[in-house]
Structure 1
Amino acid sequence: MEKILEVKNLSVSFNTHDGEVQAVRDISFDLHKGETLAIVGESGSGKSVTTKALMKLLPEPQGFIKNGEIMFENEDIVKKNEKQMQKVRGKDLAMIFQDPMTSLNPTMKVGTQVMEGLIRHRNMNKQQAREKAIEILKLVKIPEPEIRMKQYPHQFSGGMRQRVMIAIALACDPKILIADEPTTALDVTIQAQILDIMKDIQAETNTSIIFITHDLGVVANIADRVAVMYAGKIIEIGTVDELFYNPKHPYTWGLLGSMPTLDSSEEELFAIPGTPPDLLYPPKGDAFAPRNEFALKIDYEEQPPMFKVSDTHYAATWLMDPKAPAISPPPSVQKRMQADKAKKGVLK
């Protein structure tokens, strides 16, 4: 598949009163046309900072891209100034934020907010923009769009506001759609509807999606590939099947083991001990080592490289080194993997 985005050795930092917080540390990944890449990890792992860097929406001057490249259509976004980025945002790169109530303008009618990008980026007049906005609201399954166009955000439910956010993001047919935990504040039923809408839209438009979440259950339903982040680094990346059925990093094991299933008893639910490191002072070795029951001596001394599992699957753990002892995932994770395989029909 053709690559539409290449991120190379990206590092993002924040200047604070205490010093430099290294929020994203030397990460690399790519995105192909028409695919969904999910980025998962605990709060503070660097997921949202990564996407804000892609859009160059970091809070300046505190937040800044320290080094790296973000190649989009053979141009480095890192080198673009604000005026140049205003031509890219909304038109080529669009973002759905986590909380639509704080992202939508409460003083503007919903229709006006959907039309804004069409008038700015696609040079439509008001009538053309209105017709297109109604069409987009229908696409995201908002009933009676002609009436809804004249209403304000407070007149919409949480799920409907999130659909409006998706409509605004899709208005100019962006090539990449970044969704920053768009279903976190929604109940399970509405969450499923929003995910279905996004999948349907992707099938129709072939848009590439970067989906940020901490919920691996959501990942299983929407992603083609998954990147797992911890302490500002990507520690495992692969197809959704590889990450669910053949995970290699102990942190990925922990995430999978902590996912409840319908047949799980309360005693079986696994929790990762400890807390993530302070990125004011990033650890010398593997950042996950203090929380990793399988940590080796070298984990405290040296950061592991990305070991190749397959052409599409890589993991940054010293357990992949040929000299490392053979260690299997914990029983809770193996049980989860078996259950997922059986559910998908992989096991006969």
Structure 2
Amino acid sequence: MDKVLDVKNLHVSFDTHAGEVKAVRGVDFHLMKGETLAIVGESGSGKSVTTKTLMRLIPNPPGRIKEGQMLFEGKDLVKLSEKEMEKIRGKEISMIFQDPMTSLNPTMTIGKQVMEPLIKHQNMSKDAARKRAVELLSLVGLPNPEERVKQYPHQFSGGQRQRVVIAIALACNPKILIADEPTTALDVTIQAQILELMKDLQKKIDTSIIFITHDLGVVANVADRVAVMYGGQIVETGTVDEIFYDPRHPYTWGLLSSMPSLEASEEIELYAIPGSPPDLLNPPKGDAFALRSEYALKIDFEKEPPIYQVSDTHFVKSWLLHPEAPAVEPPAMVQQQKRPMPSNYDKPVLFEEAR
């Protein structure tokens, strides 16, 4: 597969009255053609800032890209002018936002809103755009699309509005679709329908998807690869199987342990990660997760860990993978995964433990 997107050493900051908030700090990831990459993490970890930066939707000021590259088909999106980005935004790269009601204009019919990108980016006539809008509404599973194009957002349910937003995002057959927690505002039954719809549409139009979520249950159903984000950095990347069955970063362990499981024994209580995400106005020295981790080593408070390669697709930013790190066992909830968890923590204990 070919790379459709390659993000290298991305730094994004916001200048506030209190000082510089370093929201994204040296993020690297890539997206292959036709794959779904899920970016997961708590609120405040930098997921949405990263993806809005890809669309160049971060207001400047106060936001700014300090450093890095965002290579899309050989073009660095960081260096493009706003006029050049307007030709890409909505056509080559589209985005589905969290709340469908605030994504739609309440004063415009659904038909006009679906037609807008077709007229702007595809130079379609109004008649051709209306015909295509009906086809798109049918594609996303809305009944009676010929009638529904004449209606307004308030005449649709939450799940139906999200289908409309997906139709708008897919109108120009984008090469990348960014979905920023698209099911958060929906109930569980409708969530499942929307996720199934996105998987089906991806196969039909062969687009690549970046899926932003804090729900690991969603990840298991939609993603090919997962990037775990914390404190403005990506701390672990791997295939879905690697993240679920062979996680190596303590933060990933925490996220997995906090997931309810029908298979967990009654003796194991649901885990909650202690503390709060770091203040990125003054990012912590060393490993950003150290203050919340029971597995923290002395070096975690002194020096930022490098990225260790576990396999061709699995990368972890943690001192626990250093050859001299102590052997540690993942939490019980993580070890209850369906497959045995391989471990290479068989090196001598030379690092001084913090606690």
Residue identity opposite 2:67 in structure 1:
N
Structure 1 position 60, deviation (Å)? 2.1
Secondary structure (helix, strand or coil) at the match of 2:83 reads helix
CA distance in 2, matches of 1:17, 1:144: 52
Corresponding position of 2:199: 199
CA distance in 2, matches of 1:163, 1:317: 40
Give 1:14-93 correspondences, 5 Å limit. Answer: 14-93=14-93
Residue identity opposite 2:196 in structure 1:
D
CA distance in 1, matches of 2:91, 2:233: 29
Corresponding position of 1:128: 128
Corresponding position of 1:318: 319
Corresponding position of 1:346: none
Residues paired across the two proteins, number = 339
Secondary structure (helix, strand or coil) at the match of 2:179 reads strand
Corresponding position of 2:141: 141
Secondary structure (helix, strand or coil) at the match of 1:268 reads coil
Secondary structure (helix, strand or coil) at the match of 2:131 reads helix
Structure 1 position 205, deviation (Å)? 1.0
CA distance in 1, matches of 2:262, 2:243: 21
TM-score (norm 1): 0.96
Contact 2:39 2:229 in 1 (8 A): yes
Give 1:92-171 correspondences, 5 Å limit. Answer: 92-171=92-171
Corresponding position of 2:288: 287
CA distance in 1, matches of 2:327, 2:190: 43
Contact 2:268 2:333 in 1 (8 A): no
Deviation by residue 1:141-183 (Cα, 9 ceiling, x = unmatched): 0110011100000110000000000000000000000000000
Residue identity opposite 1:310 in structure 2:
S
Residue identity opposite 2:16 in structure 1:
T
Give 1:214-225 correspondences, 5 Å limit. Answer: 214-225=214-225
CA distance in 2, matches of 1:226, 1:165: 24
Contact 2:13 2:65 in 1 (8 A): yes
Corresponding position of 2:272: 271
Structure 1 position 266, deviation (Å)? 8.9
Structure 1 position 261, deviation (Å)? 1.4
CA distance in 1, matches of 2:194, 2:221: 12
The 10-residue stretch of structure 1 (76-85 or 43-52) with the greater mean CA deviation from structure 2: 76-85
Corresponding position of 2:250: 250
Corresponding position of 2:175: 175
Deviation by residue 1:18-66 (Cα, 9 ceiling, x = unmatched): 0000000001000000000000000000000000000000022101111
Corresponding position of 1:241: 241
Corresponding position of 2:12: 12
Corresponding position of 2:190: 190
CA distance in 2, matches of 1:203, 1:275: 39
Structure 1 position 331, deviation (Å)? 1.0
Contact 2:287 2:303 in 1 (8 A): yes
Deviation by residue 1:117-163 (Cα, 9 ceiling, x = unmatched): 00010011011101111111111001100111000001100000000
The 10-residue stretch of structure 1 (16-25 or 255-264) with the greater mean CA deviation from structure 2: 255-264
Structure 1 position 267, deviation (Å)? 5.7
TM-score (norm 2): 0.94
Secondary structure (helix, strand or coil) at the match of 1:9 reads strand
Give the gaps of 5 or more residues in structure 1: 343-348
Secondary structure (helix, strand or coil) at the match of 2:51 reads helix
Residue identity opposite 1:322 in structure 2:
P
Structure 1 position 333, deviation (Å)? 1.4
CA distance in 2, matches of 1:69, 1:135: 37
Structure 1 position 263, deviation (Å)? 4.1
Structure 1 position 262, deviation (Å)? 2.3
Contact 2:4 2:73 in 1 (8 A): yes
Q: Which has the higher helix share?
A: 1
CA distance in 1, matches of 2:185, 2:171: 23
Corresponding position of 1:345: none
Residue identity opposite 1:178 in structure 2:
I
Deviation by residue 1:286-333 (Cα, 9 ceiling, x = unmatched): 000000001000000001011000010000000000000111201121
Change over 3 Å in CA distance of 1:266–1:118 after alignment to 2? farther
Alignment RMSD, CA only? 1.1
Residue identity opposite 1:11 in structure 2:
H
Instruction: State the 4+ residue runs in structure 1 displaced beyond 6 angstroms.
Output: none
Corresponding position of 2:230: 230
Residue identity opposite 1:206 in structure 2:
D
